[in-house]
Structure 1
Amino acid sequence: MSVENKVAIVTGGASGIGFQYALELLQNGLRAVTLADTDAAKGEEAVAKISNDFGADKVLFVETDVSVKVQLANAFKQTVEKFGNLDIVINNAGVMVEAIWEKMININLKGTIYSCILAMEEYFPKYKSGDEGIIVNTSSVAGLQEVPIFPFYATTKHAIIGLSKSLGTPQNYATTKTRVMTICPGPTVTPLMQDLENKAFNERYRALTGEFFKLVGDVGKPQTVDVVSKCMMKVIQEGSNGSIWVVENGEIYEIAPPDRKDMKK
């Protein structure tokens, strides 16, 4: 799929990986993008940057807490009111602070679920400009293995994979014409990776933070956001419905989880 002349929403799009996704999409011909984010100051900066580089008609910022249904619905509504279409939704908003695990579930998981419902059930059927809509949900390498340091964060990211696989089935595609994929970044240079010790649940978990990189694999130096955004384009352009993609060490590869019967001991 080409993103040329398409319209996208990127949650958590005012900075970090989300903002880089928006830039990458626009560089590849996207007609317009909505940045849905809680940080109004960063949102204004992002709009100024995109307007300067691509034109003021290319971007909309909507202050949005994805865990609040009415705010997320408003971001979708404002997108089609301004741009007329909606073709791509990248669910990127997320937090990793174990002490606020209920809020983390609301943002990482519930926000993603509601965004998928809005896209598949309400907006793509009426406003997509082509034959299919695209959803890319953000999991993590933490969604593919155990992470003793951040068990509650890992739980939300495991759930995202289950959500995407279940929505991204032939049965659902037949009726929604929506391709659903999952991207699983490894450690990346973003605020999410800063101050890890204070993001642990308590002292027992904090004692493990020195082992974090070993627990998520031998990744060496964390990758940069521009590398992840270029890999996102590959997922959109080439990813099949229900596919899962890992991005780590600047490399992207598709994975295929085994059937449960093949995992019998």
Structure 2
Amino acid sequence: MEKLKNKTALITGGTKGIGYGIAEALLNEGINVVITGRTLKTAEKAAEKLNSNTTDGAKAMAVEADVRNYDSQQKAVSKAVEQFGSIDFVIANAGLGHFGSVEELTAEQWQETIETNLTGPFFTLKATLDQLKKTKGYYITISSLAGTNFFKGGSAYNASKFGVTGFTQAAMLDVRDYGIKMSTIMPGSVSTQFNGNEPDDKDAWKIQPEDIGQMVVDLLKMNPRTLPSKIEVRPTTPK
């Protein structure tokens, strides 16, 4: 759809995995993307690769930012607006996982999981809210089926993703008064580098990052009158 061309999206954790797959899909629609990562070198390497593969005139820009730090998020927003003029779409994707029993989990692992997976999307929304008000934009969080299905050894991860799902649904009711749309996508198994995995043929049965990218594009193309606010997605055939 032509209306997506020349828009701008900010993607946290866009250097690999789901975030990178979303960035590719948006670039192919003519949307400029700003990808953030904890190190500028990693983000720049990913942006260079994205730019080498796009032919639609849209550009990828790299920004160093830590979603756990509100000031860092505000600086990322300022750089994105300085480069592209506005922010129309935000995908809060950055996340990590520490797994183990409550006896095994350290206080630091708990804190890092909650701060990255839950506080991160809150800081990202706070930092981008003024821009989204201006553009009547779209804010999408990447939660997980772990945000509704608990499992042994998942206390920290489950808590963070249950929180993301609840946060997105509640905040959606707040921001829709400004014409902002808000959704959460809750994937099951995805072929990414998450938790030290190296994707290869063994992961062919899983959801692929480009599948999530296509889902984001479909949401952005949805008629503005309709809002799929919570989407569960899983592999068609489990391993």
Same fold at TM > 0.5? yes
Q: Contact 1:133 / 1:179 at 8 angstroms: preserved in 2?
A: yes
| Residue of structure 2 equivalent to 1:243 | 229
Report the secondary structure of 2:15's partner residue: coil
Please point out which of 120, 127, 139 is paired with 1:111: 120
Report the secondary structure of 1:145's partner residue: coil
1:141 lines up with 2:145 in the alignment: yes
| Residue of structure 2 equivalent to 1:190 | 192
Q: Distance in 1 between matches of 2:196 and 2:190?
A: 10
Percent identity between the two aligned chains = 25
Letter in 2 for 1:75: A
Give the superposition deviation at 1:21: 0.4
Q: Distance in 1 between matches of 2:236 and 2:14?
A: 21
Q: Contact 1:112 / 1:137 at 8 angstroms: preserved in 2?
A: yes
> Which one is further off, 145-154 or 104-113?
145-154
4+ aligned runs moved over 4 Å, structure 1: none
Q: Contact 1:43 / 1:61 at 8 angstroms: preserved in 2?
A: yes
| Residue of structure 2 equivalent to 1:150 | 154
- Distance change (3 Å), C-alpha of 1:134 and 1:150: same
Q: Which has the higher contact order (CA 8 A, sep 6+)?
A: 2
| Residue of structure 2 equivalent to 1:214 | none
Report the secondary structure of 2:6's partner residue: coil
Q: Contact 1:168 / 1:241 at 8 angstroms: preserved in 2?
A: no
Provide TM-score, normalisation by structure 1. 0.76
Q: Distance in 1 between matches of 2:124 and 2:6?
A: 22
Q: Contact 1:109 / 1:160 at 8 angstroms: preserved in 2?
A: yes
- Map 1:70-149; keep pairs closer than 5 Å: 70-98=71-99, 99=105, 100-120=109-129, 122-126=130-134, 128=135, 132-149=136-153
- Residues 180-236 of structure 1: CA deviation (Å, up to 9, x unaligned): 0000011111121546xxxxxxxxxxxxxxxxxxxxxxx993222112221222233
- Distance change (3 Å), C-alpha of 1:117 and 1:39: same
| Consecutive unaligned residues in structure 2, runs of 5 or more | 100-104, 198-202
Asked which structure has the greater CA Rg, the reply is: 1
Count of residue pairs the alignment pairs up: 220
> Which one is further off, 86-95 or 227-236?
227-236
Q: Distance in 1 between matches of 2:186 and 2:81?
A: 29
Provide TM-score, normalisation by structure 2. 0.84
Please point out which of 179, 182, 197 is paired with 2:181: 179
| Consecutive unaligned residues in structure 1, runs of 5 or more | 196-218, 252-265
Give the superposition deviation at 1:158: 0.7
| Residue of structure 2 equivalent to 1:36 | 36
Q: Distance in 2 between matches of 1:148 and 1:237?
A: 38
Q: Contact 2:18 / 2:210 at 8 angstroms: preserved in 1?
A: yes
| Residue of structure 2 equivalent to 1:257 | none
